[in-house]
Chains A and B, each alone.
Chain A
Amino acid sequence: MSELLLRVRDLKTYFVTEQGGGTARAVDGVSFDLHAGETLGIVGESGCGKTVTSLSLLRLVPEPPGHILPGSFIELEGRNLLVLAPKQLRAIRGNEMAMIFQEPMTSLNPVFTVGDQIAEAAIVHQRLGRRAARARAIEMLVLVGIPDPETRVDAYPHQLSGGMRQRVMIAMALVCHPKVLIADEPTTALDVTIQAQILELLDRLQAELGMAVILITHDLGIVAGTVDRVLVMYAGEVVETATTPELFARPLHPYTEGLLASVPRLDTPLPRRRLHSIPGQVPAATAWPSGCRFHPRCPYAWARCAAEQPPLLDAGTGDPASHLVRCWLLAEPARRTRTSPP
């Protein structure tokens, strides 16, 4: 196993809400490891906490109303990120750990050229002069596959298409050859043919630069094709984690099962049948259900599920901690019979 880059233990990020709603426990105890060269996928629907997790890693969560609880632990190559002074933290952002976002149009500053924006990271972190930084920006444009880079470097974001802008964002993130790249739904706003291009680009860049990638998405298809290891999140917690082949071959958590069964796919036989759907809806972060947070929507739930929150249990693949599931079914497998129709 390649070197361990990032260690996250028991990350908790809470938000204080204005109304009498109380505290939103957006991320409630997330732990994972990230190794060099690995792609980790964080998958979940809206409200599960995946975006807040990624923002917490770089401490980009707005301090009021959000705060990362003491007791949370984020370590990048041995350094605890949560105790760093702002200056040291800035030295890491964009330099050793970088992030790209979902909406390239709003993430790029419309009044600066793309060249300026790419060069900015180089100027700040590597202290390059303007000329050298511009040359570097052109290099990066070549790296991300933008045609005609010498002219494009002076273009403004609105002059580029969505796919191009996303490539520019990737270029900005990679200027300083970060060790970790966090990609938050990088292709959700793009057309599917452009999405394929961008995913292929990320794949290639990861191989060339040897960096680790955390890919956040709601699309299980992307997860299957791009990711080495998966974290499935629900209601602020990790409910299942496994390698990609293992997760798709043996989804053990009822939520993962439900998700996989409810995604429309190209490879199921026609004539089509009704899609499986998970009943109910995602609960509000201010009021997670008691016990197992998924129990109100779970077809297998029984009394224990409402009363006690399950810890992450080992699915017994032989490789310890390689497939973990937060579900009492692992302790009582006989209960895996449906109590409500699918």
Chain B
Amino acid sequence: MNPRAAFALLGAVLLALFVVGDVRRRAGLGAAGRRFFRHPPAAWGLFILTFFLTVALAAPWVAPYGPSITLEIVALKNQPPSLLHPLGTDLYSRDVWSRLVYGSRVSLSIGALAMLVAVTVGAVVGAVAGYVRRWVDTALMRLVDVGLAVPRIFLLLMAIALWEHLPLALLVLLIGLTGWFGTSRLVRAEVLTLRERDFVAAARAAGAGAPRIIFRHILPNVAAPIIVSAALGIGNVMLLEAGLSFLGLGVPPPMPSWGNMIADGAAQLATAPWTTLFPGVAIALVVMALNAVGDALRDAFDPRRATA
């Protein structure tokens, strides 16, 4: 690895440590923040997420090579980790570390964007169903029942099969649209209790209509389950994307994603395990970090002590 990349990596690590330290200090001032950090994994999770986020954003500096740069084709094929290539090279003679870095951009953004779609749709559907009730509620919840019953990957496989060349953006949208059902149930449950609260009645007495009440009164107060849902949701999407890519149906090459890196290296598992191992470890770390942070967030928002 060249010195510039090494320094950039060091910088990323230090930045992540600094951010976590700062968040910890600030959060310590509030009761929710202290509850969050009561879990040791929460701090670790936050560190890992910040690290990967920084790495993804600073990819051009941190990665010594571009993502698709094929080095000397024969000589550098499947090289084990060395000083020059800290994570080795893959079967196409590409630097694994650089691909991992660029792959983080793809995997993380797919995760975040799909989750955003899922959580938005889920929150709105749940809030409308919970607030309006009557037949709207019944109809929407039966739809959710159907959605939860059908296996998600099956729906995605069908969509991919039916489309000629599914653009990546559309894939991300579809992943999001198949993942909102659980969130909507959670949000609806919160909304059912919230709508009976006096401050909602006060807003109605003041003349507020349903849209204002749902967006200004109800949704801001259901932030807690939504945020927790989102944190855990990103992890699920990343695993889903990895699965699809592994089947060759996800992110098209040569653009690296952690999922298709695993797929590429699967055949070499015995001879060059690092090509599959490192992206696998990266996914595992990020998903575990997201789960840890999600769990800690859930405790931080503990309804027994929340003010809402």
Taking the complex as a whole, does A directly touch B, i.e. does some CB pair lie under 8 Å apart? yes
**B31: chain A residues within 8 A (beta carbon):** 18-19
Could you tell me which residues of chain A, from 4 to 37, have a CB within 8 Å of some CB in chain B?
18-19
**A19: chain B residues within 8 A (beta carbon):** 31
**A18: chain B residues within 8 A (beta carbon):** 31, 34
A56 to B34, CA, bound (A): 28
Tell me, rounded to whole Å, the shortest Cβ–Cβ distance linking B300 to chain A: 13
A18 to B37, CA, bound (A): 14
Nearest opposing residue in chain A for B31, CB measure: A18
Main secondary structure on B side of the interface with A: helix
A336 to B202, CA, bound (A): 46
Instruction: Tell me how many residues of B have a C-beta within 8 Å of chain A.
Output: 2
Nearest opposing residue in chain B for A17, CB measure: B31
**B34: chain A residues within 8 A (beta carbon):** 18
A18 to B34, CA, bound (A): 9
Tell me, rounded to whole Å, the shortest Cβ–Cβ distance linking A142 to chain B: 39
Could you tell me which residues of chain B, from 22 to 48, have a CB within 8 Å of some CB in chain A?
31, 34
Contact with A along B246-268 (1 / 0, CB 8 A): 00000000000000000000000
A18 to B35, CA, bound (A): 10
A19 to B28, CA, bound (A): 9
A51 to B285, CA, bound (A): 49
Tell me, rounded to whole Å, the shortest Cβ–Cβ distance linking A71 to chain B: 31
Tell me, rounded to whole Å, the shortest Cβ–Cβ distance linking A270 to chain B: 32
A19 to B31, CA, bound (A): 7
Tell me, rounded to whole Å, the shortest Cβ–Cβ distance linking A86 to chain B: 26
A19 to B305, CA, bound (A): 14
A18 to B31, CA, bound (A): 7
Contact with B along A206-242 (1 / 0, CB 8 A): 0000000000000000000000000000000000000
A224 to B34, CA, bound (A): 47
A327 to B20, CA, bound (A): 53
Nearest opposing residue in chain A for B305, CB measure: A18
Tell me, rounded to whole Å, the shortest Cβ–Cβ distance linking A13 to chain B: 21
Nearest opposing residue in chain B for A20, CB measure: B29
Tell me, rounded to whole Å, the shortest Cβ–Cβ distance linking B15 to chain A: 29
Could you tell me which residues of chain A, from 244 to 263, have a CB within 8 Å of some CB in chain B?
none
Tell me, rounded to whole Å, the shortest Cβ–Cβ distance linking B4 to chain A: 45
Tell me, rounded to whole Å, the shortest Cβ–Cβ distance linking A106 to chain B: 13
Tell me, rounded to whole Å, the shortest Cβ–Cβ distance linking A19 to chain B: 7
B residues engaging A (CB < 8 A)? 31, 34
Which 3 A/B pairs are nearest by Cβ-Cβ distance? A18-B31, A18-B34, A19-B31
List 3 contacting pairs A-B, 8 Å CB cutoff, sorted by A. Answer: A18-B31, A18-B34, A19-B31
